[in-house]
Amino acid sequence: MFFDWYRILGWMGNGLYTSLVIFILNIMIFYNQAFRAEGQTADMAAMGATMFSCIICAVNCQIALTMSHFTWIQHLFVWGSVATWYLFLLLFGMLPPYYSEDAHKILVEALGPAPIYWCTILLVTVACILPYLAHISFQRCFNPMDHHIIQEIKYYKKDVKDQHMWRRERSKARQETKIGFTARVDAKIRQLKGKLQKKSSTLILPNRMPSPC
């Protein structure tokens, strides 16, 4: 149901797109443009930290976008991760330069006061999550899955008002499930084995089970 190769490849493609967007936009923005108010350009440490901030923000916004059921723990972890990154950058920058090397006071003195840093993060994050946002919006509007429909029904309280519709949705759940190629092959092998041992009558496939509801 949720485990197919299209999905995995889709996410991998999404990762490829995200990495391309993050790298190309960052390189283009920091290539020869002034970074500080006095007109100095960014060095590699500043660009690296900006790129990493973009990755953290994009990846965490992406997972926030996929969640349909929020609890406060999820909020804490998702936005806490972004906060942890900035906290780390702040504390790491406070260490003496012997330990922090090129990241010494990077947030306080280099990145923080530069508006281009914050603008870049915003731009890159939005650019990264746009395709997935378009995908889920399109799917929900034009090609909804069963759980989307049930969510909408519950959200608009249709199950109370429109009994007919609700009954139809419930009966749909009794239809046969279609999942993965390997599972079907396995089922076929089991079936053949059963026939071989002439015990085919005892073989019950899980999806043919009578439903209790």
Partner 1 sequence: MRAACLVDLFLFVSLNGFFCFQICYFFYKNIAFGLTLFYFEAFTAFSGQSVYNDWYMLLFNVILTSLPVISLGVFEQDVSSEVCLQVCPINHLAIFMQLSPFTSYLSAMIIMLFLHSAVPSIVSARA
Residue type, 154: K
How many angstroms separate the CA atoms of 143 and 171, rounded?
A: 20
Provide the mask over 42-61, with x wherever binding to partner 1 is found by CB under 8 A and - wherever it is not: --xx-xxx-xx--xx-xxx-
Stretch of 33-41, 82-90, 107-115, 193-201 contacting partner 1, by CB under 8 A: 82-90
| Least Cβ distance, residue 164 to partner 1 (angstroms) | 15
Express the helix, strand and coil content of the chain in percent, nearest 5 each: 75, 0, 25
Stretch of 32-40, 114-122, 179-187, 193-201 contacting partner 1, by CB under 8 A: 179-187
Within 13 Å of residue 61, how many CA atoms lie on the same side as its CB? 20
Q: Does 84 sit near partner 1 (CB under 8 A)?
A: yes
How many angstroms separate the CA atoms of 16 and 8, rounded?
A: 12
Q: Which of 36, 90, 92, 131 binds partner 1 (CB under 8 A)?
A: 92
| Least Cβ distance, residue 167 to partner 1 (angstroms) | 11
Residue type, 47: M
Q: Name the 3-class secondary structure at 105.
A: coil
Stretch of 35-43, 108-116, 135-143, 150-158 contacting partner 1, by CB under 8 A: 150-158
Take residue 189 and report the two structure tokens written for it.
Answer: 């092998």
Q: Does 174 sit near partner 1 (CB under 8 A)?
A: yes
Q: Does 3 sit near partner 1 (CB under 8 A)?
A: yes
Q: Which of 67, 122, 134, 192 binds partner 1 (CB under 8 A)?
A: 67
| Least Cβ distance, residue 153 to partner 1 (angstroms) | 9
Q: Does 147 sit near partner 1 (CB under 8 A)?
A: yes
- Is the Cβ of residue 170 or residue 195 nearer to partner 1 in the bound state? 170
**CB atoms near residue 59 (< 10 Å):** 19
Q: In the chain, what is the straight-line distance between the N-terminal and C-terminal CA atoms, in Å?
A: 21
How many angstroms separate the CA atoms of 16 and 54, rounded?
A: 15
How many angstroms separate the CA atoms of 49 and 111, rounded?
A: 8
Q: Does 150 sit near partner 1 (CB under 8 A)?
A: yes
Stretch of 111-119, 133-141, 145-153, 195-203 contacting partner 1, by CB under 8 A: 145-153
